[in-house]
């Protein structure tokens, strides 16, 4: 969680994360996830500067600006949390009013979530957007800016400080890797490393045209489907019609950002946005039935999955990256619910931390994932048949599958083999339900002492 440090019981003072990550503070083990170069979409520029949203912050960039030299088609997926932060309400309205087009900029601050701040907070979000519009030189027919905020809940933004600095953020906009990395760094909170990716792709209708997509995200704690304290932005120079933008983004997010969990909590600010400015030319993607749409859907989904995985890599206190695959399911909903339940189970997550091949806990989580609420009649749950259920560890070093449960009967587990597999940072838990042909995949991490330390320590 983002937040100021409060000093509490002594066992909590093993303090490991500072507010907003700086390049020099990236843990050695995480450096490999931070790119040293990239190819960025034409017509977009990015910057990240220090504003000092948190009074104590005098070193870490905390205001990020992404701007296009021309209007973009844009879409966003927002948190479903009933307590939606002001920037969520504001940005949703902007996209609605503008019909998913005419967007030029995304302005993001870390350090304060502008959540549960009432009417004043909404005005602040609007003032941020207007400052960006005026600076970028585009304020006709309503705002052309989407805003996002992440950080402490229930506090007003230092709005004057932010507005005053928007021109400075605009002045240092650039299209180099350094500029995009500064931008990705500025949106971080308790993240230990900035999460930035870029890649190139082509579309069937214009094989000669190279397109680029770049994206960034931030996460750490409070991540679960419906996205939580999670921000994400992707920008592409491919030409995409506003009418198909919401569909392509929603499908990508459901299979990526909505398929990861750190602690199962879901917050007030989460937003993932996609901008397309068409600067690379080529034929516009207009129909959801076109080969171009299908191709871009795949590109965007894979890209979003890779971005989302970076968040799990950086889960608060995480020592493991765990893929949970539920296959042979009667429905994708059932597979999702079971994968999600295993991914959230504190007992599964602590066992993983303890390097314990504890299939019993995996089975328990599977067994209660679809049951009815207390006080309600027992649900039949035909999606799960104990005698059909198989649970295995799939090693990520290419060695053989370790079967833990076969057709509902426990295997005699080779503990030393299990320990070998569990020593690896990456692990796949495979649950075969044997009741159908659907499947779902979740990505999660373990619960460690550090998770307790971080979250016992912080004020969100």
Q: Residues annotated as binding site for substrate? A: 189, 218, 229, 316, 455, 460
Could you give the maximum distance between any two Cα atoms of the chain, in Å?
70
By CB under 8 A, residue 265 contacts a copy of itself? yes
Burial category of 53 from C-beta neighbours within 10 Å (exposed 0-12, middle 13-18, buried 19 and up): buried
Window 57-76: residues binding a copy of itself (CB under 8 A): none
Q: How far is the CB of 448 from a copy of itself (least distance, A)?
A: 7
x-or-dash string of contact with a copy of itself, 236-255, rule CB under 8 A: ------------------x-
Q: Could you write out the three-class secondary structure of 134-192?
A: HHHCCCCCCCCEEEEEEEECCCCCCHHHHHHHHHHHHHCCECCHHHHHHHHHHCCCCCC
- To 10 degrees, what angle do helices 346-353 and 332-344 make? 60
Among 61, 225, 242, 395, binds a copy of itself (CB under 8 A): 225
Among 20, 358, 435, 441, binds a copy of itself (CB under 8 A): 358
Q: Is 283 helix (H, G, I), strand (E, B) or coil?
A: coil
Q: How far is the CB of 33 from a copy of itself (least distance, A)?
A: 23
Burial category of 303 from C-beta neighbours within 10 Å (exposed 0-12, middle 13-18, buried 19 and up): buried
Catalytic status, residue 229: yes
Count of residues near a copy of itself by CB under 8 A: 82
Opening angle at CA 234, ends 116 and 272, nearest 5: 25
Closer residue to a copy of itself, CB minimum distance, 363 or 430:
363
How many angstroms separate the CA atoms of 289 and 198, rounded? Answer: 26
- Give the N- to C-terminal CA distance of the chain in Å, as an integer: 6
Opening angle at CA 223, ends 219 and 224, nearest 5: 150
By CB under 8 A, residue 90 contacts a copy of itself? no
DSSP label of 193: S
By CB under 8 A, residue 98 contacts a copy of itself? no
Window 270-329: residues binding a copy of itself (CB under 8 A): none
Among 222, 235, 300, 330, binds a copy of itself (CB under 8 A): 222
Among 379, 388, 399, 406, binds a copy of itself (CB under 8 A): 379
Closer residue to a copy of itself, CB minimum distance, 309 or 344:
344
Pairing of strands 260-261, 44-49: unpaired
By CB under 8 A, residue 230 contacts a copy of itself? no
Query: Which residues have a Cβ under 8 Å from the Cβ of 91 and sit 6 or more positions away?
Result: 76, 78, 125, 146, 147, 148, 271, 273
Q: How far is the CB of 338 from a copy of itself (least distance, A)?
A: 10
x-or-dash string of contact with a copy of itself, 28-57, rule CB under 8 A: ------------------------------
x-or-dash string of contact with a copy of itself, 319-348, rule CB under 8 A: --------------x--xx------xxxx-
Which residue among the candidates 117, 150, 229, 268 is catalytic per the annotation? Answer: 229
Pull the structure tokens for residue 290. 């076109």
Closer residue to a copy of itself, CB minimum distance, 69 or 411:
411
Q: Which residue has the tokens 């907003």?
A: 20
x-or-dash string of contact with a copy of itself, 387-426, rule CB under 8 A: --x---------------x--xxx----------------
How many angstroms separate the CA atoms of 204 and 161, rounded? Answer: 47
Closer residue to a copy of itself, CB minimum distance, 55 or 368:
368
* Contact window for a copy of itself (CB under 8 A) among 52-60, 182-190, 288-296, 368-376: 368-376
Burial category of 96 from C-beta neighbours within 10 Å (exposed 0-12, middle 13-18, buried 19 and up): exposed
Q: How far is the CB of 352 from a copy of itself (least distance, A)?
A: 9
Closer residue to a copy of itself, CB minimum distance, 165 or 455:
455
The DSSP bridge partners found for residue 410 are 405
H or E, element range at 299 = helix 291-313
DSSP label of 60: S
Q: How far is the CB of 43 from a copy of itself (least distance, A)?
A: 32
Among 47, 149, 198, 259, binds a copy of itself (CB under 8 A): 259
For the chain, give the number of residues. Answer: 460
Q: Which of 172, 179, 145, 169 is nearest to 40 (CA)?
A: 179
Closer residue to a copy of itself, CB minimum distance, 27 or 456:
456
Closer residue to a copy of itself, CB minimum distance, 171 or 333:
333
x-or-dash string of contact with a copy of itself, 435-454, rule CB under 8 A: ------------xxx-xxx-
Q: Which of the residues are catalytic?
A: 229
């Amino acid at each position: 969680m983002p937040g100021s440090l409060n000093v509490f019981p002594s066992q909590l003072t093993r303090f490991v994360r500072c507010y907003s990550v700086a390049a020099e503070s990236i843990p050695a083990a995480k450096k490999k996830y931070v790119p040293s170069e990239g190819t960025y979409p034409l017509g977009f520029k990015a910057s990240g500067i220090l504003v000092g949203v948190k009074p104590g912050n005098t070193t870490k960039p905390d205001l990020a600006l992404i701007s296009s030299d021309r209007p973009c088609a844009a879409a966003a997926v927002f948190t479903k949390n009933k307590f939606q932060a002001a920037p969520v309400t504001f940005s949703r309205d902007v996209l609605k009013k503008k019909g998913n087009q005419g967007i030029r900029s995304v302005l993001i601050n870390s350090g304060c979530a502008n959540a549960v701040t009432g009417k004043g907070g909404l005005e602040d979000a609007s003032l941020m957007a207007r400052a960006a519009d005026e600076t970028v030189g585009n304020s006709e027919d309503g705002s052309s800016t989407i805003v996002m905020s992440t950080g402490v809940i229930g506090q007003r933004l230092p709005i004057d400080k932010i507005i005053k600095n928007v021109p400075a953020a605009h002045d240092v906009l650039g299209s180099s890797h350094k500029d995009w990395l500064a931008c990705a760094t500025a949106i971080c909170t308790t993240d230990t490393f900035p999460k930035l990716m870029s890649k190139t792709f082509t579309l069937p209708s214009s094989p000669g045209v190279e397109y680029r997509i770049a994206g960034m995200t931030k996460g750490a704690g409070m991540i679960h489907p419906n996205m939580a304290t999670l921000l994400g932005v992707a920008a592409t120079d491919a030409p995409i019609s506003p009418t198909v933008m919401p569909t392509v983004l929603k499908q990508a997010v459901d299979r990526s950002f909505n398929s990861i969990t750190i602690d199962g909590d879901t917050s007030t600010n989460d937003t993932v946005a996609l901008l397309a400015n068409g600067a690379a030319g080529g034929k516009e993607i207009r129909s959801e039935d076109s080969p171009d749409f299908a191709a871009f859907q795949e590109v965007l989904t894979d890209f979003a999955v890779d971005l989302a995985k970076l968040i799990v890599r950086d889960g608060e206190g995480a020592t493991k990256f765990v893929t949970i695959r539920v296959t042979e399911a009667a429905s994708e909903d059932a597979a999702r619910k079971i994968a999600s339940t295993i991914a959230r189970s504190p007992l599964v997550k602590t066992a993983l931390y303890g390097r314990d091949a504890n299939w019993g806990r995996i089975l328990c989580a599977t067994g209660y994932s679809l049951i009815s609420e207390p006080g309600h009649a027992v649900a039949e749950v035909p999606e799960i048949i104990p005698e059909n259920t198989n649970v295995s560890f799939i090693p990520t070093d290419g060695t053989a599958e370790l079967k833990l449960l076969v057709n509902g009967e426990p295997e005699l587990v080779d503990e030393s083999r299990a320990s070998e597999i569990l020593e690896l940072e990456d692990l796949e838990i495979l649950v075969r339900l044997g009741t159908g042909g659907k499947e779902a995949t979740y990505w999660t991490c373990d619960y460690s002492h550090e998770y307790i330390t971080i979250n016992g320590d912080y004020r969100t």
